[in-house]
Amino acid sequence: MLAYIKGTLEIKTKGYIVIDANGIGYKIFMPESAISKLCDIGEKVQIHTFMRVREDDISLYGFLTNEELRMFELLLGVSGIGAKGALTILSNITPSQFALAVISNNVDILKKLPGIGAKTAQRVILELKDKLKKEQEIDIVQGEEEVTFKHVIEEDEKVSEAISALQVLGYTKKEIMLALEKVDMADLSVEDIIRKGLKSLS
C-alpha cells in the first residue's frame, strides 16, 4: 500500500493529477477542491494516497491531508457510496464540517451534497455513528488510559461534541484529549474546536 507519493507535479486537470516520481508518472484521482489548492506545474508536491484494487482496475486516490484520506475511507465503508461519489463529497465539505454533521444528526447539510439524497444522508449518519459507538465500547473494555486536562473539561457540551466528531474521523479518545489540551478553546465554536484539534493532531 502506498502511504504517499512525493514528486514533481506534471499534470493538473479536472478530476486528477499526474506526479512524476523517479521517472514514473502516477495518475492520482483527487477532489476538485484539493486540486485547486495544489502548487504550479513543475513544482514538488507530496500527496497522501489510497490505492484501490479491484478485479478489473487499480486506481490511486490522493488527498492533501490525513483527515481527507480518513474521511474518504469512511465514506467507502458506507453502503451505496463509491470512490467517485466520495471524491465529490470531499470536494464540497471539509472533514470538520462532515464530522460535525454526522455527530449532530444534521441530515439537511449532508443531503445538499452532490449525489446524496435524504435516504443516503440518513444512512451515512446511522452507519458512521454505529461504527463510532462500537469503537467507544472497545475503548471502555480495554480501559483506555485517562488523560488529565489542564484547561479542557470533557463534560463541556461543545468539547464533548468535538471529541465525538474527531472520533468519527478515526482518532482515539486519548489522541484527541492530548491534542485538545494544546488548544485555547475560549469562545470557540464546536467546528472551530474540531478544526484546531485536527491541526494539533496532524
pLDDT at res. 130: 79
Residue type at position 30 = M
* Domains contained in the chain, number: 2
Distance CA 128, CA 125 (A): 5
DSSP state of 153: -
76 lies in some domain = no
122 lies in some domain = no
Q: Is residue 64 within 8 Å of 48, Cβ to Cβ?
A: yes
pLDDT at res. 137: 57
Distance CA 88, CA 84 (A): 6
Distance CA 36, CA 181 (A): 33
46 lies in some domain = yes
The angle at the Cα of 90, spanning 29 to 159, to the nearest 5 degrees, equals: 140
152 lies in some domain = yes
Q: Is residue 19 within 8 Å of 48, Cβ to Cβ?
A: no
Distance CA 151, CA 80 (A): 42
Residue 58 maps to which CATH number? 2.40.50.140
Q: Does this model's pTM top 0.85? A: no
Q: In a 3-state reduction of DSSP, which class is residue 26?
A: strand
Q: Which residues of the chain have pLDDT under 50?
A: 140, 150-153
* pLDDT tens figures, 33-61: 999 999 999 999 999 999 999 888 899 99
Report the run of H or E that residue 13 belongs to, with start and end. Answer: strand 4-13
Cell digits of residue 189:
465554536
144 lies in some domain = yes
The angle at the Cα of 102, spanning 88 to 126, to the nearest 5 degrees, equals: 100
Query: Of 64, 86, 118, which residue sits at a domain end?
Result: 64
95 lies in some domain = no
pLDDT at res. 171: 87
CA distances, 155 to each of 17, 89, 202 (Å): 44, 32, 24
* Domain that residue 154 falls in: 136-201
112 lies in some domain = no
pLDDT at res. 25: 97
pLDDT at res. 182: 79
The rounded Cα 109 to chain-centroid distance in angstroms is 17
Residue type at position 70 = R
Query: Of 35, 64, 93, which residue sits at a domain end?
Result: 64
Query: Of 32, 64, 96, which residue sits at a domain end?
Result: 64
163 lies in some domain = yes
